[in-house]
Structure 1
Amino acid sequence: MFKVTGNCVTMRNQNALVWLWLTIVVIALDHLTKWWASTHLVFNQEVAIAPLVNFKLLHNPGAAFSLFAEAGGWQRWVLTALALVVSSLLIGWLAQLSRRQRWLASALALIIGGALGNAVDRVLYGYVVDFIDVYYQTWHWPAFNVADSAISVGAVMLLIDAIFKGNPHSK
């Protein structure tokens, strides 16, 4: 971990794990907003926030878009295990990156934070707390939360990184 050269001690392994601070911020913000929604909103009742956006407290026992929501309970532990495995693999990938690979490191940290934020909900409650409702006229996007947003932003960042991988500015 440390390398001694002459009178100077430097860190030999300066990997991107320092970006896990962003993971912690995502988890904290996710749970703070879910706590707020759970204590201030009435279940399944819309509260207009801005044009096209409501807050609406919902409980999602399934995955994204309520996939597997009616699966009978097994999904709680399978989705939790999947989140833990994927997060572990992404942390391993993060450890292989240089600190200078900020874009890719922050993308991975966002995804890890979102996955772990929702996994905590599944372990504690058996469902994920969703409360952000985006709509247009009578059409509503499935409700989501800060963790879902972090996963989505991180995934888009990964896609951008993959497309522009040859660009020196993406490193």
Structure 2
Amino acid sequence: MKAAYTRPFLTAALIILADQIIKIWVRKHMAIGEEIKFLGDRGMLHYTENNGMAFGMELGGELGKLALTLFRIVAVFGIGYALVHLIKHKYHRGLIMMVALILAGALGNIIDSTFYGIIYNYAGIFHGRVVDMFYFPILSGHFPTWFPMWGGEEFIFFRPVFNLADAAISIGVIMILINQKRYFKHETPEESNPNSEMVEE
């Protein structure tokens, strides 16, 4: 039974470690706004920090920041409990691994928002900023002038800057949505049929 717990939690731990290594390296070797291109103008490291949710979205004000961090912590406990429940009740291995990815991503960003302010001496506990760095502006151009609301304005896909933790959460959620019929397929446990025993006798 212990082996069933090892793979998902080890996977989560490795993702958290890799996420933190990348963030620490970026913070140490790059200035905010600096870019290191590895796919020309279509893929780069772009160092930025945000006070809020995944992909740079924010919840306003200091109170909002505190509420978001505390919510993340509560959510992680819930996700962790769900992961243990799924393993214990032998749910689909794919589902278990995807929940492990979501847990890893949530924990990766919690470390930033909980401790980075203290570690890097710019804010108190629970008020740290999340480090983001991956930027893939694959498509860019302008909306047609006739386009509602954004006519003539510039568009970029994919605009958000994100980190490995964000990617882990997104992959986990998307794969669960895509494979939900397979992951949540109802399987009844095998039970002995009383009639079959009578036949055998």
State the percentage of identical aligned residues. 29
Partner SS for 1:117: helix
2:100 to 94, 109, 127: 109
User: Rg larger in 1 or in 2?
Assistant: 2
Q: Distance in 2 between matches of 1:15 and 1:162?
A: 25
Structure 1 counterpart of 2:111: 120
Matched, 1:152 2:140: no
In 1, distance between residues paired with 2:58 and 2:94?
33
TM-score by length of 1: 0.80
Per the normalisation by structure 2, the TM-score is 0.69
How far has the Cα of 1:80 moved from its partner? 1.7
Residue segments in structure 2 that go unaligned for 5+ positions in a row: 118-127, 142-155, 188-201
Counterpart secondary structure, 1:73: helix
Q: How does 1:123-138 map to 2 (within 5 A)?
A: 123-124=114-115, 125=117, 126-135=128-137, 136-137=139-140
Bigger CA drift: 140-149 or 96-105? 96-105
When the two chains are superposed, the root-mean-square deviation of aligned CA atoms in Å is 2.3
Q: 2:35 aligns with which of 43, 46, 64?
A: 46
Give SS of 1:144's match.
coil
Structure with bigger strand share is: 1
Unmatched segments (≥5 aa) in structure 1: 1-10
Q: Does 1:161 align with 2:179?
A: yes
1:167 Cα shift? 8.7
**Structure 1 residues 47-66: aligned runs within 5 Å:** 47-51=36-40, 52-66=42-56
Give the length in aligned residue pairs. 155
Contact map agreement 2:50 2:58 (CA 8 A) in 1: no
Q: CA deviation at 1:146?
A: 0.4
The 1-side partners of 2:21 and 2:56 are apart by 22
Aligned to 2:20: 31
SS at match of 1:56: strand
Q: Which moved more, 1:41-50 or 1:144-153?
A: 41-50
Name the CA shift for 1:96/1:34 in 2 (closer, same or farther; >3 Å): same
Structure scoring higher RCO (CA < 8 A, sep ≥ 6) equals 1
Shift of 1:166: 2.9
Q: Which moved more, 1:16-25 or 1:34-43?
A: 16-25
